[in-house]
Structure 1
C-alpha cells in the first residue's frame, strides 16, 4: 500500500548539488526533517570532482573539507608553445567519499535511495511505486533541464584510472596537456596523480558536437599512456587492468559550454515554480561546465535560511541563479569567440595565451568571479583569433545576452 511521508525539505537528486545541500542543511539545522531522494543506490553516482582552492570561499570550506580525498599545492599546464607550473592549490573529491559522509551525517530515514521519481511539484514528490512525499519545500537537483533554450558548444570527456606499477612520475596534476594532437575541436588531456602508481587520465574536447565516441577516446587514453612510457598494469591475459572486471574508476560526460540563450526559458523547463539547485538551476560555469563552486555557494546560502516554504525556496534559488547568469555574460562572450571565431584545431591558442596570465586572475576566472580588471586583461593585446571573425561571431550570436 502506498505511503505518505511528511518532512520539512525534500531534495530530489543525490548528486553533487543535492549531496552538498543535504550536508549543509543537516549541519546548520540538525532538527530539520530532510529527505534526499534518488533513483541510484548511492549518493554522488560514479564521479571525481576537482576544484581549485580559490573556487571556494574560506567561509564555505566547512562544507567540502570533509569530502576532499586528494590535494596538491600546485598544478601544471602544457601547450605547444608554453608550459607552466602554477602554484595554486587543487583538490579532488571521489563520489564514494561523498556517499560515505552523507550516510554518516544524515539519519537513515533521510536517505531515500534506489527510489524512482515519477513527478515533482513545489511541495510534493511522487515516487514510481506510489509513495508520496509531502514537504514544506522541495528542491530539484536532478541535473540539467532542457538545454534547448541555451546556445552551447560542448565539453566532452572520457576519464579512466590507470595503475602504473613502475610509477607514472607525476608530482602534481596536469590540468591541461594540450601538446596532444588537436582532434574534434580543442583537445587536452588531464591527469590526477592519486598515488605514485595510480593516475586518473581524462581525454577532453571542446567540440561543436555533443556526440562522444567512448571507445575511440578510450583508445586515445591508452595511446597517451604509452607515449609517456607508462607500463600500465595488465592481467594474466595481457589486457590492461581496465575494463576487465571493472576494478578501477571510469567516467564519461558531455557538459554544455554556454554562449547565450534564454535563461528564464531554461529555468521554466525544469519546473516553473520549483526551487532548483546545481545544473538544474543553470548554476554551472559557462566555460568549463563545472558546477562544484556554485553548488557549494548554493548549499551555503540555503543553509543560512530559516524559511523553507516552497515559494520562499523558489524565489531564493531563482534569484541566485538569475543573478549568476547576468554576472557571467563575459564568459559567454569568450565562449562565442572560442567556438565561432577560432578554427577547431586552432582553439588551443586561446587557452595557451590565457595561461600566460597572472595565476590570481586564472583562479578568479575558474571561480566565476573575474574582476573588471581581469576582463580587460584577458581581452588586451593581439587576440588569438581573427578579429573580423570574432566581431562577426559576437554580433551574430548576441553573446552574453542576459535574457
Structure 2
C-alpha cells in the first residue's frame, strides 16, 4: 500500500526543508513527508545572507538553526575601491541544517536516501518501488539547465580552512576582486569562522559551467600563501549555479511541471537571477506556501504558479543587469560593474541583494557613466543571450 501523508515535499534542499519546517509550525496536525535522494538534507552547501534580508517572520523561521553570525558588518575589495559596510551577515552550514530538520520534523517525515522516479498529483514513486500517497505534492528538487532560459554561470569552490596562526580577517569579505581575472569575473569570498578558521571560496561569473576543482584548489592555495596563511582543509564544497538573464519562463516551467504538482524552489524559478542568493526568496516562499497549505493540491499548485509568475516579472531588472554583465562587459573587465555598484548608497545595496530594489534604486544604478562600452551594451540588449545549458564535451 505504501505510506500516506497530507503533503509530500520532494527535494530536501534549502527550499524543501524550509517549506517543511514552515508547514509543520503553521499546521502541526498536517502529516508531512520530506523526501530527499541524498543521505542528508541540504547536500554539501553553505548558505549566507545579510541580516536585514529577512522579514521578522523569516528571521523567526531561521532562528532555531545553528548559524554563524557576524556583528561587525562586511567589506568588499576591488582594484580601485575598498569599502566597509555596516550590514551584519549570517551563514548556515548544510550539516547544521540537516541536524535541525531531523530534530524539529516528526520522525515519520524523514525520508532521506529516497530517490523519486515518478511524480503525480496524488503522490510519488520511489526507486525502491514504494509509492508515497499524498493530498498535495511539492516539487523542490534542484534547478536544471534549460534551453528555455538564457544567461551565464556562477562557478565556485569553497574550503573551510584551519590556519597555523590567526588569519587576521575580522569580518566577512563578500568580494575580494583584487585577484587575477582569468576570462571571467573572479572574486574570493571570505568568512572568518574563528581566529584560526576561515572559509575561503573562489568564485567566477563565467560563460561556461565548467568547474575545474584542481585549478580552483591551486588558486585558493596561492591566495592563502599570498596572505601568509599556512592552512589545511577541514571541509570542501563546490557549486555551479545558473545566472539567469532572460528567456521564456512559461516554456521553462511547462517543461518541468507535472500536472497537479506544485513546482517550487529554485527549480520553480524562485531565485535571485543575478546574485544566485536563495535564502531570502526561499524563506519568504516557504512562509507563503505554509500559509496556503490547507488549499489542497490543486489550489496550492495555482497559488505557487501565480507567485512564480509574479517573481519572474518582479526580478526583470536583475536579469537586465545580468545581460549587461555577460553580454556587454569583456570577461576580464566584468569586475568594473561590481566595483561601480559598490560605490552606491548602502541601503540601495542591501535592497538589491534582497531583490527589493525600488524604482529610484533602479534609476540610480543605471545612471552615470556606464561601466561597459555603450555600443556593446546596445548589442547585448538586442541579442538573445546564451542558452542556459551545459556545453557538450568535445
TM-score between the two structures when normalised by the length of structure 2: 0.95
Name the Cα RMSD after superposition: 1.3
Assess if the C-alpha contact under 8 Å between 2:151 and 2:326 holds in 1: no
Displacement of 1:113 after TM fit? 0.8
Q: Where does residue 155 of structure 1 map in the other structure? A: 154
Displacement of 1:328 after TM fit? 1.1
Q: Where does residue 300 of structure 1 map in the other structure? A: 287
Q: State the Cα deviation string for residues 293-326 of structure 1 (Å, max 9, x = none).
A: 1110111101112524211121111111110001
**Aligned pair 1:271/2:269, yes or no?**
no
Which range moved further: 173-182 or 389-398?
A: 389-398
Q: Secondary structure at the match of 1:67?
A: coil
**Aligned pair 1:196/2:183, yes or no?**
no
Which range moved further: 75-84 or 269-278?
A: 269-278
Assess if the C-alpha contact under 8 Å between 1:24 and 1:63 holds in 2: yes
Assess if the C-alpha contact under 8 Å between 2:292 and 2:300 holds in 1: no
Assess if the C-alpha contact under 8 Å between 1:157 and 1:252 holds in 2: yes
CA gap of 1:115–1:289, structure 2 versus 1, over 3 A, is: same
Q: Where does residue 36 of structure 1 map in the other structure? A: 34
Displacement of 1:122 after TM fit? 2.0
Q: What 5-or-longer segments of structure 1 have no aligned partner?
A: 233-240, 243-247
**Aligned pair 1:107/2:106, yes or no?**
yes
Q: State the Cα deviation string for residues 183-216 of structure 1 (Å, max 9, x = none).
A: 1310000001011111000000011111111110
Q: Where does residue 345 of structure 2 map in the other structure? A: 358
Q: Where does residue 281 of structure 1 map in the other structure? A: 268
In 1: Cα distance, 2:348 partner to 2:293 partner = 36
Q: State the Cα deviation string for residues 91-138 of structure 1 (Å, max 9, x = none).
A: 000111111111111111111111121111122100111110111100
Q: Secondary structure at the match of 1:144?
A: coil
Q: State the Cα deviation string for residues 248-304 of structure 1 (Å, max 9, x = none).
A: 221111111111001111112222432022111111111012221111011110111
In 1: Cα distance, 2:277 partner to 2:66 partner = 17
Which range moved further: 9-18 or 286-295?
A: 286-295
**Aligned pair 1:253/2:239, yes or no?**
yes
Residue from 363, 368, 371 that aligns with 2:355: 368
Q: Where does residue 381 of structure 1 map in the other structure? A: 368
Q: Secondary structure at the match of 2:136?
A: strand
Q: Where does residue 207 of structure 2 map in the other structure? A: 208
What stretches of structure 1 move > 6 A for 4+ residues in a row?
none
In 1: Cα distance, 2:295 partner to 2:35 partner = 17
Q: Where does residue 75 of structure 1 map in the other structure? A: 74
Q: State the Cα deviation string for residues 152-171 of structure 1 (Å, max 9, x = none).
A: 11110000011012111011
In 2: Cα distance, 1:249 partner to 1:318 partner = 37
Q: Where does residue 92 of structure 2 map in the other structure? A: 93
Q: Where does residue 290 of structure 1 map in the other structure? A: 277
Q: Where does residue 336 of structure 1 map in the other structure? A: 323
Q: Where does residue 21 of structure 2 map in the other structure? A: 23
Q: Where does residue 347 of structure 1 map in the other structure? A: 334
TM-score between the two structures when normalised by the length of structure 1: 0.93
In 2: Cα distance, 1:334 partner to 1:323 partner = 19
In 2: Cα distance, 1:398 partner to 1:179 partner = 28
In 2: Cα distance, 1:271 partner to 1:122 partner = 11
Q: Where does residue 49 of structure 1 map in the other structure? A: 47
Number of aligned pairs?
384
Assess if the C-alpha contact under 8 Å between 1:122 and 1:139 holds in 2: no
